[in-house]
A and B are shown apart, each in its own frame.
Chain A
Amino acid sequence: MIALTWLGVAVMTAGVVFLALGGLGLVRMPDTYTRIQAGTKATTLGTILSLFGAALIMPGWSIKLLLIALFLMFTNPLSSQVLARAAHRAGVPATDKTKADALADDQEGLA
Chain B
Amino acid sequence: MSDTFAPAKLFATMFVFWLLLNGALQLDVIVVGLLVAGGITYFFAGSLSFLSGYRVSVASAKATAGYLAFFFTELVRANLAMAWLVLDPALPMTPAIVKVRTRLQHPVARLLLANSITLTPGTLSVELRGEWIYVHWVVAQTTDPEAATEAIVAGFEKYLEVMYD
Contact between chains at A97 and B99 (CB < 8 Å): no
Contact between chains at A34 and B115 (CB < 8 Å): no
Interface contacts (Cβ under 8 Å), in number, total 127
Instruction: Give the secondary structure class of A's interface.
Output: helix
Contact between chains at B95 and A84 (CB < 8 Å): no
Contact between chains at A102 and B138 (CB < 8 Å): no
Q: Which residues of B lie under 8 Å from residue A46 when comparing CB positions?
A: 79
> Is the interface on chain B under 10, 10 to 19, 20 to 34, or 35 or more residues?
35 or more
A4-30 toward B: CB 8 Å interface, digit per residue (1/0)?
000000000000001001101100111
Q: A38-B82, A67-B17, A98-B96 are contacts. A103–B126 as well, Cβ < 8 Å?
A: yes
Contact between chains at A34 and B138 (CB < 8 Å): yes
- Is B124 in contact with chain A by the CB < 8 A criterion? yes
Q: Which chain A residues (34-67) contact chain B, with CB distance < 8 Å?
A: 34, 36-38, 40-42, 44-46, 63-64, 67
- Chain B residues at the A interface, C-beta cutoff of 8 Å: 17, 20-21, 23, 75-76, 78-79, 82-83, 85-87, 91, 93-99, 114-116, 118-120, 122, 124-127, 134, 136, 138, 140, 143, 145
- Chain A residues at the B interface, C-beta cutoff of 8 Å: 18, 21-22, 24-25, 28-31, 33-34, 36-38, 40-42, 44-46, 63-64, 67, 73-74, 76-78, 80-81, 84-85, 88, 94-95, 97-104, 106
